[in-house]
Amino acid sequence: MKNLLLIASIGLASFNLFANDLYTTKLKGNSEPTVKEVQKAINVLTAANKTASVSGRTKLLAKARKLIAKKTGMVTYKAAIVIGTNYGDINLADYEGYLEDNKSICYNGDINVALEVANTLSSMDSFWIYDEYSLDSIEISGSVIEFKVMDEFSYSDQDASEEDRDDFITTYSAAKCK
């Protein structure tokens, strides 16, 4: 019985490490070097300039490049876009339904970070939008993030002009979560 509880606890803990919550979002991406890594790179470059050995200088320069290189992996954003569903609230990164089926949309965290999360998700094609629709843009309007979805089928079917484009865009607004 103790072994079963231990295995269940480890399983839940590991699931929570990789799952998105409603306040942060974890996505695959590139992370910038930290201030500490940049400072280390500066120190290494200073040491490289003082080194007389060509091979030593080459090794130090390679180490400095490695310190300041973008790193690929899981990036944790301190913001989340929350989709309300019939089953409760879900982080947009974990949402498997269509954007049009949401009951509500809001965001937690800083609006600029939430916008970055939305743009990252849209570049990963993580937005589920009905077949004839496309994500036109994501913008900040005051304290609200607006997802503008274009009805491509109706727009092309009616041979609408560029001036009529706004008539075929539906806006989904995400205000700050309460």
First to last CA, the chain: 41
The residues, ordered by sequence, that sit 6+ positions from 173 with a Cβ below 8 Å of its Cβ are: 105, 141, 144, 145, 146, 147
Q: Given a cut of 90, is residue 14 above it in pLDDT? A: no
What would the pLDDT profile of 126-157 be if each residue is shown by its tens digit?
778 888 888 899 999 999 999 999 998 888 88
In this structure, what DSSP letter does residue 86 have?
Answer: T
Between 159 and 103, where is the model more confident?
Answer: 103
The confidence band for 111, taking pLDDT boundaries of 50, 70 and 90, is very high
Model pLDDT, residue 19: 64
Total-model pTM: 0.66
The residues, ordered by sequence, that sit 6+ positions from 74 with a Cβ below 8 Å of its Cβ are: 18, 26, 27, 28, 29
CA distance 69 to 62: 10
Mean pLDDT of all residues in the chain? 85
Beta partners for residue 139, in sequence order: 146
Residue spans per domain, the chain: 76-176
